[in-house]
Amino acid sequence: MEALVASAVGIMTAAGIFLILRRRTFPVILGLSLLTYAVNVFLFATGRLALNAPAVLNKYEDVPYTDPLPQALVLTAIVISFGMTAVIVMISLSAYLSSRDDHIDMTAQDSVDAPGEDA
Partner 1 sequence: MSLFLIAALPFLGAVFPALLIRAGRNAAASAAGLTTFLALMGLLIHIPSVMRGDVVSARFDWIPILGLNANFMLDGLGFLFALLILGIGLLIILYARFYLSREDPMGQFYTYLLLFQGAMVGIVLSDNVLLLLIFWELTSLSSFLLIGYWKHLPEGRQGARMALAVTGSGGLAMIAGMLILGNIVGSYDLSVILQNKELIQSSPHYLPALILILLGCFTKSAQFPFHFWLPHAMAAPTPVSAYLHSATMVKAGLFLMARMWPVLAGTDAWFYIVATTGLVTMLIGACIALFKDDLKALLAFSTVSHLGLVTMLLGFGTKFAAVAAVFHIINHATFKAALFMTAGIVDHETGTRDIKRLGGLRKLMPITFTIGTIAALSMAGLPPLNGFLSKEMMLEETVHTTWLNSPYLVPGLALLAALFSAAYSFRFVSHVFLGPQRSDYPAHPHDPPVGLWLAPAFLVVLVVLIGLYSAAIVGPLVTVVSSAVIGGEKLPYYSLKLWHGFTPALYMSVVATLGGLFLLALHRRGEQLWNALPRPEAKAIFDNVIGAFTVFSRWVTDGLHNGVISRYAIILIAFTLGLGYYAYSTGSLGAATREALPAPLIPFIGWICLVGATLAIMWFHRNRLLSLVLIGVVGLIVSMAFNYLSAPDLALTQISVEVVTMILLLLSLNFLPTDTPWDSSATRRWRDAAISVVAGLGTGALIYALMLRDFAFPTISEFHLANSYKGGGGTNVVNVILVDFRGFDTFGEIIVLGIAALIIFALTESVLGTNVRSYLLNRKPHWPQSGDSHPLMMVVVTRMMMPIALMVGAYIFFRGHNQPGGGFIAGLIVAIAYLMQYMASGYTWAIERQRFYYHGTIGWGVLIAAATGLGAWFNERPFLTSDFGYLHWPPLEEFEWATAMLFDTGVFLAVLGAVMLALDSLSRFAWQPGMAQEFPMDINPLRDNPPEEEQEKEQA
Judged by CB under 8 A, the chain residues 20 through 59 that form the site for partner 1 are 20-30, 33-34, 37-38, 40-42, 44-59
List binders of partner 1 among 93-112 (CB under 8 A).
93-94, 96-98, 102, 104-107, 110-111
Tell me the C-alpha to C-alpha distance, in Å, between residue 81 and each of 3, 4, 87. Answer: 26, 24, 10
Distance CA(87)–CA(55), nearest Å, equals: 33
Interface of this chain with partner 1, residues 64 to 83, rule: CB under 8 A: 65-69, 71-72, 74-76, 78-80, 82-83
Q: Shortest approach of partner 1 to residue 48 CB, angstroms? A: 6
Specify the residue, 59 or 115, whose C-beta has the smaller distance to partner 1.
59
85 and 36 Cβ atoms separated by less than 8 Å = yes
- What length is written for the chain? 119
Least distance between partner 1 and beta carbon 19 (Å): 6
Whole-angstrom distance, CA of residue 51 vs CA of residue 61:
17
CA distance 31 to 103: 15
Q: Does 63 sit near partner 1 (CB under 8 A)?
A: no
Q: Residue 116 Cβ, how far from partner 1 at the closest point, in Å? A: 11
